[in-house]
A and B are shown apart, each in its own frame.
Chain A
């Protein structure tokens, strides 16, 4: 579908532009401003140039060390999350019932974790994993497994990852389900006539048809896992030690805990920039993949 060129369309976009500019550009300018200064409280600011940025990228300083360590943890976390949630989501989507009331039941149940406030998600798992009052922690402990997410690094990580799988796999599953639903029956019939195996149907029909929604899923899951804050904060508070301190947690600690505005602002900018670059890459792949396969469809 060809779009007509019409610059008057800007009038239709203007409200969105103004609203988002008000909430994005103004605060961003404040951040840039802070990032170049140092403060000793009392609203007194001193010019610091790119000092914070230098410190941020130098692992030998306190700020740089904390930033790079939490960045590493975040990257590992996002990688693990994607590696578990994407295949699991596909499997769940393929297992969805084909019709009847069970479909509605499954959809509503799948969507349920997505609608729970993030701090409540944290609370649920904080309770669920406790060895004294939680079902999971109690069961594991009585099976003789030494499990305590408060004091053991590995257990804390496992808890945070299982919690995220619980919370967000549904999103991937629902996206894939939507993709699968859009495949016309004729494709399957053709495959049956050709005598295609189950695996061939998956790789030749279902996976290519899902690739668009899968990209959205990967994009959303990467972004959200990369900026995760509330859930691990509630469950582990970033501990034990610093083992589950992700960048957002570090940032809030510096900004609202220590009121180190300069450092926090510099960290914010670098953090934002990383997300922006990764998303730009995803976005480009997504729109290109869309135009290559279906040239008729304009995409965004």
Chain B
């Protein structure tokens, strides 16, 4: 009843449309530069893993991945731990200025990163965090914390408040209730929120590039090195691109059952 005519065709065509450019990148990453430039081949005729080997053996390359993962993980941990209590407060209580505060938080999720690039550069240079993963992690909080609050608020609201009341009657203190009862109940919500923080921090380039120079350089900035005087190193660029897709794909696999609800910000 809830299907539409030709749905198999539609979904197949759309998935092919999504996968084709990714396939092309994977395809190129296994080719030599000579093969890429000289011939048009639908699969690598002389498959090579030289591009990947270079990334795994050259420190300036693989440290980019480590740096990216560092700030993404720091950011996710900070965002979730501050957003949890706030989400609970927004879901359960009415307090002075709550609506305005919520909109103000959201408005930060909407602020263009380009606006903040320069002031952040000044701010984090002034407090000595420039070129550390902490600077990027804190900068990314500006859009991840509001998003985490938004998602978690939806999930907390779906927990009946009778559960809170029963727990308090049973003599649970607030922190104990929070950790022992609420957190396990919304575990899937926390997973989804963490997924989103990971995602938005992982894909962001502008702030990450502006706030780092040498030591904490993220992979997205390292990738620009493939442009050299000798022309583009297409194979290497493609291999580096493929490797940035893998962490995301792994994370999706873990949250696949909650992903749809999570994208609706816990609000369906």
Min distance, Cβ B16 to any Cβ of chain A, angstroms? 10
Nearest-CB distance from A226 to chain B (Å)?
Answer: 8
A30 to B146, CA, bound (A): 22
> A166: CB under 8 A from chain B?
yes
Among listed A46-54, A101-109, A150-158, interface-contacting one: A101-109
A92 interface residue per 8 A CB criterion: yes
Asked if A280 is an interface residue, CB under 8 A from chain B, the answer is: yes
Q: Are A298 and B157 in contact (CB under 8 A)?
A: yes
How far apart are the CA atoms of A128 and B223 in the complex, in Å? 17
In the bound complex, CA of A177 to CA of B11 (Å):
13
Minimum CB distance partner of A2 in chain B: B94
**A108 CA / B15 CA spacing, docked (Å):** 10
Interface residue B44 (Cβ < 8 Å from any Cβ of A)? no
Q: Please state if A118 and B204 are interface contacts (CB–CB under 8 Å).
A: yes
Q: Is A83 an interface residue (CB 8 A)?
A: no
Neighbouring B residues of A182 by C-beta, 8 Å: 268
**Residues of B close to A247: CB separation below 8 A:** 112, 114
CB distance B24 to A300 under 8 Å?
A: no
Q: Smallest distance from the beta carbon of A266 to chain B beta carbons, Å?
A: 11
A123 touches B22 (CB 8 A): no
Q: Give min CB distance, A33 to chain B, whole Å.
A: 9
Q: How far is the CA of A63 from the CA of B141 in the complex (A)?
A: 32
Contact pick for B95, options A6, A226, A261, CB 8 Å: A6
Asked if A291 CB lies within 8 Å of chain B CBs, one says: no
Q: Encode B111-123 as 1/0 by CB contact (under 8 A) with A.
A: 1111111111011
What separation, in Å, do the CA atoms of A93 and B18 have in the docked complex? Answer: 15
Does B1 lie within 8 Å of A191, measured CB to CB?
yes
Bound complex: CA of A24 vs CA of B5, how far in Å? 49
B110–A264 contact, CB under 8 A? no
Tell me if A7 is interfacial: C-beta within 8 Å of chain B. yes
Complex contact B112–A20 (CB within 8 A): no
A181 contacts B205, CB within 8 Å?
no
* Chain B interface, DSSP helix/strand/loop, else mixed: helix
B244 touches A117 (CB 8 A): yes
Cβ–Cβ contact B199 & A112, under 8 A: no
When the two chains form the complex, which single residue of B22, B93, B220, B234 contacts A133, counting CB atoms closer than 8 Å? B234
Selected contact of A256 from candidates B37, B82, B118, CB within 8 Å: B118
Is the C-beta of B203 less than 8 angstroms from some C-beta in chain A?
yes
Closest B residue to A135 using CB positions: B24
A255 contacts the other chain (CB 8 A): yes
CB neighbours (8 Å) of A134 from chain B are 24
Q: Which residues of A contact B25 (CB under 8 A)?
A: 123-124, 127-128
Q: For chain B, residues 5 to 26, give those with C-beta under 8 angstroms from any C-beta of chain A.
A: 5-8, 10-11, 14-15, 17-22, 24-25
A293 at the interface (CB under 8 A from B): no
Q: Are A16 and B82 in contact (CB under 8 A)?
A: yes
B264 touches A175 (CB 8 A): yes
Partner of A175 from the list B83, B157, B252, B263 (CB cut-off 8 Å) is: B263
Given contacts A6-B94, A115-B202, A279-B110, contact A108 B86 (CB under 8 A): no
Chain A interfacial residues counted at CB < 8 A: 105
Contact of B94 among A3, A19, A117, A125 (CB under 8 A): A3
Contacts of B88 in A (CB 8 A): 12
Name A102's closest neighbour in chain B (CB-CB): B11
Q: Are B82 and A19 in contact (CB under 8 A)?
A: yes
Known: A4-B94, A213-B267, A255-B118. A12 touches B7 (CB 8 A): no
Interface flag for B139 (CB, 8 Å): yes
Whole-angstrom distance from the CB of A221 to the nearest CB of chain B? 12
Residue in A closest to B150 when the chains form the complex, CB atoms? A300
Q: Are A112 and B119 in contact (CB under 8 A)?
A: no
Pairwise interchain contact B99-A300, C-beta atoms closer than 8 A: yes
State whether the Cβ of B163 lies closer than 8 Å to any Cβ in chain A: no
- Verify if A276 is at the interface (C-beta below 8 Å from B): yes
Q: Is the CB of B17 within 8 A of A166?
A: yes
**B138 interface residue per 8 A CB criterion:** yes
A121–chain B nearest beta-carbon distance, Å: 8
Q: What are 12 of the A-B contact pairs (CB < 8 Å)?
A: A12-B86, A24-B108, A95-B8, A96-B7, A107-B260, A118-B205, A124-B21, A127-B24, A201-B2, A255-B117, A268-B112, A276-B110
Q: Which residues of B contact A (CB under 8 A)?
A: 1-8, 10-11, 14-15, 17-22, 24-25, 28, 36-37, 40, 42, 78, 82-83, 85-86, 88-90, 92-96, 98-99, 101-103, 105-120, 122-123, 138-139, 141-142, 145-146, 149-150, 153, 157, 161, 199, 202-206, 210, 219-220, 223, 234, 237-238, 241, 244-245, 247-249, 251-253, 256-257, 259-261, 263-265, 267-268
Closest 6 CB pairs of A and B: A115-B248, A27-B119, A227-B112, A95-B7, A9-B93, A12-B89
Could you list 12 further interchain pairs (A-B, Cβ under 8 angstroms) beyond the known A1-B157, A16-B82, A127-B238? A24-B142, A31-B119, A104-B257, A108-B252, A109-B18, A111-B252, A118-B203, A120-B241, A128-B21, A170-B18, A198-B4, A272-B115
